Amino acid sequence: MRYINKILENPYFRLILSSIQSKMEYRGTFIAFLLTILGFYLSQVMVIGIMIYKFKTIKGWTPGELALLYTLLIFSMGCVSTIFSGLIDFSDFIRKGDYDRVLLRPLSTLGQIISMNFDLTGLTHLGLGFIALFVTNQLLEIQWTFLNIFYFIITIIGGTLILGSIRIIIASICFYAISNESLQHLIVFSSREFLLYPLNIYTKSIQIFLTFFFPIAFVNYYPSYYFLSKDLSMIFHPILVYGTLPVGLMLFLISLLIWKMGERFYGSTGS
């Protein structure tokens, strides 16, 4: 009971609870947004389905293997959308001068931004993720041993850190330029399209870029080789199969450093 009280009294938990309550006041908008998310991902699935129906496989990847890529992506996106959604509109937060209020509190500024904009609609992704996982298992019959379950969870955590770190880095640009909408659409949203398909369908230069410079391929492509037992000679090095969590942790630390550096250059814009 003492630990529960500590959680309830935690300032970040209170900010999260307040954020949830404020969003639930407009239930019509909340439900409409959920339906929009469902429609968006349904359209993605239909596009992939049409391609598979026409070509049967995509660069040697079967429907079940593509479903696994989608499953890993959608689970990571669910966690990112729930936790890091506040960073999407961070430019408005800076522009209106609301960030000054955050600086006055004796709490982590990034922690406050995340907690104040905790988004339950992101959990819709998790529901879709379980559906995608069920479909994947029907097509591939993956043996869910303890080790496989553990690595699946580790992969989702690593993928969440990678995608969340990208949002932190893009949000940090607002400390210098205030507006970052174009980069949000280009890097945060448009880049996810690369993850819907296996990396080997792209040119070698793009494969290198998405592995070593903008490492989103670790979200679903490389860890999928672990579950599928595919030929490891198809990737740059077998060790990359286990790189999701290390890359996620490294990128997260880099994003925190960039955030701290950006704060030093912050100047209030007023209201």
The pair of structure tokens assigned to 180 is 């970052």
Which residues does 154 contact at the CB level (< 8 Å), separation at least 6? Answer: 244, 245
Please report which residue ranges of the chain form alpha helices under DSSP H.
2-9, 11-24, 27-55, 63-83, 90-95, 99-103, 109-116, 123-140, 146-172, 174-177, 181-183, 204-208, 217-228, 244-264
pLDDT reported for residue 220: 93
SS (HEC) of 32-94: HHHHHHHHHHHHHHHHHHHHHHHHCCECCECHHHHHHHHHHHHHHHHHHHHHCHHHCCHHHHH
Q: Is residue 185 part of a domain?
A: yes
pLDDT band at 34 (very low <50, low <70, confident <90, very high): low
Q: Is residue 270 part of a domain?
A: no
Can you name the residues that pair with 25 across neighbouring β-strands? none
232-269: pLDDT as tens digits: 878 889 999 999 999 999 999 999 999 998 888 776 65
pLDDT reported for residue 29: 61
Q: Is residue 271 part of a domain?
A: no
Share of the chain above pLDDT 90, in %: 29
pLDDT reported for residue 50: 66
> Residue 111 corresponds to which amino acid?
G
How many domains does the structure of the chain reveal? 1
Measured CA to CA, the distance from residue 178 to residue 171 in angstroms comes to 9
Between 168 and 55, whose confidence is greater?
A: 168
Measured CA to CA, the distance from residue 196 to residue 220 in angstroms comes to 9
Full residue range of the structural domain in which residue 151 is found: 2-264
219-233: pLDDT as tens digits: 999 999 999 888 787
Q: Is residue 78 part of a domain?
A: yes
Residue 161 has pLDDT above 90, yes or no: yes
Q: What is the mean pLDDT of residues 64-73?
A: 89
Q: Is residue 170 part of a domain?
A: yes
